[in-house]
Amino acid sequence: MTTEMTLSLRLLSPLALHRTRAGVQYVETLDYIPGTALRGALAEAYLAQHGEPDRVFEALFLSEQVRYGDLWPTIEDGPTTLIPATAQACKRHGLQHKNSFRDSLLDALSSHPADDRCPHPRCGEPLDKAGGGYLWDIQTVARLQPRSRLRVSTAIERSTGAIAREMLFTQHTLTGNLKDNSKKDLFFQGTLRLTDPTLRDELALLLNAGKLLFLGSGRSRGLGEVEIDSWQETTTDDSLSERWRRFNEVAQRAGGDPDKRYFSLTLLSRLALRDELLRPVLSQISPRHFGLSNGVEWACYPDSSRPVRFVDRVMVAGWNAAMGLPKTDTVALARGSVLLFWCAPSQEEAVLARLKEIEAEGVGERRNEGFGQIAVCYPIHNECWEGGR
Ligand SMILES: [Zn+2]
């Protein structure tokens, strides 16, 4: 039995979360807080309270018993939607032409996909990829963009603690405001999942006691101060069969085979998989990597045997969990990547049972720091398929 807690953080100072390891002079920041950073900050808060690492520390931070999910920007508790790699919008004006926004995944099932153009009055530009970023309302295509700010800092000499000469670097930081200057409060929200329910009280104690956390880099310069705004126990999302039903309804309208049941897997966080030889699994990914070997096949484009997948790669800083030490950077599948599979109607029940596990437990390595979170039949794929037409 998994216990879930939803955690909301408020930024008190700008936050610098680097895409890769520092060491270059121009650094971009992520637009979310990775589970890795959250786990590190909570571990630090625990040590500040208790001193030395003890048995509870090991269970909370070094075991697989607690999974620290990524924290996404959110406002007013609305469910934030990640814009997947299948999203499209006006090539020229992007999401400014809101009615051009659509999801193209189910086009793959049609033998005559339409040549979509931006329907905005007097525009008619072709559509282009629009993946990345977030929506806080998919009906109104309301974008959720945290503001980032560029800071120029002086480097500090490690050996002396003094300002290094002629060493300046620029750094993007994330602020607790929205890019559209609205007055809405921005939070960062994510889920902690506990497979050992006896750890619930220990975690609750920590979340209640350590209101202030410190995240990311530049902490000696006052960056990365965050506050735990709230946390609560939540129940697991059980809408899977309903999402599956709606997805298949639209898949049929889009030209799907009536004898097949389709489902998509959308990566909500980075996915680190390895094959038997410990090499990263990237383009050779297949249903068996998700434990879906029985009767599950790739959906293919009608005119070829090409599988329907929209997969991006991303560099991640390596981490040796056993040693608790950094290691060489590695490559993972990027969040927002989408895969489309099908099974026979007779397999539906068995496949749904496994998909439920996939959503609850995640897939692949480093799940305790937020990797491998997957959504089955992510609603944006069917709800926004007809948009922009
Ligand atoms: Zn347009």
The three-state secondary structure class of 156 is: strand
Residue 267 alpha carbon to ligand 1 centre in Å: 28
Give the closest residue to 259 by CA, choosing from 341, 345, 340: 345
Number of domains comprising the chain: 2
Residue 73 alpha carbon to ligand 1 centre in Å: 27
Residue 196 — pLDDT band, cuts 50, 70, 90? confident
Residue 127 alpha carbon to ligand 1 centre in Å: 8
Residue 118 alpha carbon to ligand 1 centre in Å: 5
Last residue of one domain, picked from the residues 197, 215, 234: 234
Residue 227 alpha carbon to ligand 1 centre in Å: 40
Residue 387 alpha carbon to ligand 1 centre in Å: 13
Report the pLDDT averaged over residues 271-294.
Answer: 90
Residue 132 alpha carbon to ligand 1 centre in Å: 18
Q: Summarize the chain as % helix, strand, coil (round to 5).
A: 25, 35, 40
Task: Examine the domain organization and report whether 254 and 364 are in the same domain.
Answer: yes
DSSP 163-203: EEEEEEEEEEEEEEEETT------EEEEEEEESSGGGHHHH
Residue 97 alpha carbon to ligand 1 centre in Å: 5
Task: Examine the domain organization and report whether 371 and 340 are in the same domain.
Answer: yes
Total-model pTM? 0.90
Residue 120 alpha carbon to ligand 1 centre in Å: 5
pLDDT single digits (tens) 286-322: 999 999 977 999 999 998 889 999 999 988 876 565 5
Residue 100 alpha carbon to ligand 1 centre in Å: 6
Give percent of the chain above pLDDT 90: 58
pLDDT single digits (tens) 130-145: 999 999 888 888 888 8
Residue 388 — pLDDT band, cuts 50, 70, 90? very low
Residue 109 alpha carbon to ligand 1 centre in Å: 25
Model confidence at 160: pLDDT above 80: no
Residue 320 confidence (pLDDT): 60
Helices (H) and strands (E) in the chain, counts: 6, 22
What is the CATH classification number for the domain harbouring 48? 3.30.70
Residue 298 forms beta bridges with which residues? 341
In this structure, of 53-62, 100-109, 211-220, 347-356, the range with the lowest mean pLDDT score is 211-220
Return the amino acid letter for 307: P
Q: Does residue 142 lie within any of the structural domains? A: no
**Residue 50 domain boundaries:** 3-79+174-234
Model confidence at 120: pLDDT above 90: yes
Residue 379 alpha carbon to ligand 1 centre in Å: 24
Task: Examine the domain organization and report whether 373 and 251 are in the same domain.
Answer: yes
Report the pLDDT averaged over residues 95-114.
Answer: 91
Task: Examine the domain organization and report whether 260 and 373 are in the same domain.
Answer: yes
Task: Examine the domain organization and report whether 299 and 356 are in the same domain.
Answer: yes
Residue 91 alpha carbon to ligand 1 centre in Å: 7
